[in-house]
Amino acid sequence: MSGQGSAVAREASSRRTFAVISHPDAGKSTITEALALHGQAIGEAGAVHGKGGRKGVVSDWMAMEKQRGISITSAALQFTYADCVVNLLDTPGHADFSEDTYRVLTAVDCAVMLIDAAKGLEPQTLKLFEVCRHRRIPVITFINKWDRPGRAALELLDEIEERIGLKCTPLTWPVGPGGKFAGVIDRRGDDAAEANDMVHFERTPGGTREAIQTRLTADKAAARFGEDYATAVEEVQLLTEIGATHDQKLFEAAVTTPVLFGAAVANFGVAQLLDVLIEHAPAPAAREDAEGEPRPVESPFSGFVFKIQANMNKAHRDQVAFVRVCSGRFERGMVVTHAESGRPFATKYAQSLFGASRDTLDEAFPGDVIGLVNATALGIGDTLYVDRKVVFPPLPSFAPEHFATIRTDDTSKAKRFRRGIAQLDAEGVVQVLYSDRRGDATPVLAAVGTMQFEVATHRLTEEFGVPTTLDHLPYELARRTDTDSAEKMKRAPGTETFVRARDGVVLAAFLNKWRMQTVKTDYPGITLEPLLADADA
């Protein structure tokens, strides 16, 4: 290995790139802030539902996110901790933004699955876990909100194992039931597991700073917490007896999931989670290209675009392409090749990202996320490289389930309207479709969930100054088809065919699955193929 290659390998080994996935309201944005706080990237944590003078979460920068207290778009946060560079990708929790979350999951090496202690596994958590399973992404589980009444810890482990098939290997175990959270028994390492040492948590005023942690020996913990500690020790012994202990190879093979307990809003257990990420989450490794060939991290620079975002800061009014570095050393100003067009691409305006904050970035290594400013030639899923050519697999789209025409009644703003629609399409906020039946002047928006329509109309108003009107269409599902099949289905009732603006893919939309079955019977031999959500979910 060359000197430069070994240096890149060392840098890659010090990276941890992961996403947090959860059902809405499980506390995902709160734990994102808590992790950034413990990494000393911020001095004080906010909360999703801020109180008094508390700040909003740094990863939620869009106006709608701040108003509603939910994450609508993904964000990248980078900070250093324990000699590692942590790349944390915050994802939307709401099911309507599954497609954005899926794209983020293509760019990470590990995921933290956040579970509400009272609710257990919820539908969106299950859906996102299936994406992780499909991509063979190792998962660390954090059972959140243990400071509130909830279900029994062993019951939650049973649910995880029964419903998603991952064997749970707790690394921390709660002392005290939900709502009476005193701390955790630390099972990390042979010595700690045998000693049953306890970490006691005390909340700081307002919960805006790191929790006070006190390590207690078994004797001191027993004297102070009595029956709660004794129960926890019994449960830990049971876990040991049934073999629920961490195995790094099985974790990286996505067979087991390390489990931790905590309360993100009070910063309980967050330090332990961050330590586990540093100690056990896999570092960036060789990534397979579109042909299935692995490209080692020591290879010349390569990366792919997993997200595009415009107008993150109204003062800038620019477009940023988020690029995951897959191999090599990136240097600002280097000329790379855009694989899809074969054209050179200059990287003079490269930035590091921290929520909406941006700083000039001089270099980056595998696992890092680069923000390329005003990269209008780039699309989601595009590959960039130097020297030896590589093309990474395209990022599939989810099957839309909601459709609506969109228009502006202010003809003086028609040009802005078209520009705004093109921007939303480029970012993947919605899928933009056109059809012969409606003409180019009447685009159709297609979405996984109706909240995507709200985001689209809100942004057209706020960022482009264009008021719009939506008219919902009755279709409920779509399939990929081809031009010959689309021509045959032109007169089929309850059916409409479209061309997707982003990539020219032909889609057929149906009123419901029964109408689709009837069309298949009436027009034998037509092409109807499932999209990602149908194939994997």
- Given a cut of 80, is residue 21 above it in pLDDT? yes
**Is 90 labeled as ligand-binding?**
yes
Amino acid making up residue 516: M
**Is 450 labeled as ligand-binding?**
no
**287-385 and 402-536: same fold?**
no
- Given a cut of 90, is residue 182 above it in pLDDT? yes
Mean predicted confidence (pLDDT) in 357-367: 88
**pLDDT value for 176:** 95
- Tens digits of residue pLDDT in 409-445: 888 999 999 999 998 888 888 999 999 888 888 899 9
Say if domain 402-536 classifies as CATH 3.30.70.3280. Answer: yes
- Given a cut of 60, is residue 490 above it in pLDDT? yes
Strand order in the sheet with 198-202: 172-175, 183-186, 198-202, 212-216
| Six-digit token string for 332 | 């600002």
**Half-sphere exposure in the Cβ direction for 196 (13 Å, CA):** 18
**pLDDT value for 316:** 53
- Given a cut of 60, is residue 45 above it in pLDDT? no
| CA distance to 192, 254, 421, 462, per residue, from 416 (Å) | 62, 47, 9, 12
**pLDDT value for 509:** 96
**Is 521 labeled as ligand-binding?**
no
**pLDDT value for 129:** 85
Q: Does residue 311 or residue 240 have the better pLDDT?
A: 240
> Which has the minimum average pLDDT: 127-131, 233-237, 418-422?
127-131
Decide: helix, strand or coil at residue 91.
Answer: coil
Average pLDDT, the chain: 87
User: Which pLDDT band, with edges at 50, 70 and 90, does 304 fall under?
Assistant: very high
User: Which pLDDT band, with edges at 50, 70 and 90, does 365 fall under?
Assistant: very high
Mean predicted confidence (pLDDT) in 476-492: 94
Is 114:28 a contact under the CB 8 Å cutoff? yes
- Given a cut of 80, is residue 40 above it in pLDDT? no
**Is 92 labeled as ligand-binding?**
yes
Mean predicted confidence (pLDDT) in 41-49: 50
User: Which pLDDT band, with edges at 50, 70 and 90, does 60 fall under?
Assistant: very low
DSSP code string of 384-440: EESSS---PPP-PPPPP-EEEEEE-S-GGGHHHHHHHHHHHHHHTSSEEEE-TTT-T
The rounded distance, in Å, linking the Cα atoms of 7 and 20 is 29
> Which has the minimum average pLDDT: 36-40, 175-179, 209-213?
36-40
The rounded distance, in Å, linking the Cα atoms of 89 and 102 is 12
Share of the chain above pLDDT 70, in %: 87
**pLDDT value for 317:** 61
Decide: helix, strand or coil at residue 245.
Answer: coil
Share of the chain above pLDDT 90, in %: 61
Fold of 3-280: Rossmann fold (3.40.50)
Mean predicted confidence (pLDDT) in 392-413: 89
Decide: helix, strand or coil at residue 206.
Answer: helix
DSSP code string of 102-157: HHHHTT-SEEEEEEETTTBS-HHHHHHHHHHHHTT--EEEEEE-TTS----HHHHH
Q: CATH homologous superfamily of domain 287-385?
A: P-loop containing nucleotide triphosphate hydrolases (3.40.50.300)
**Is 174 labeled as ligand-binding?**
no
Would you list the domain boundaries of the chain?
A: 3-280, 287-385, 402-536
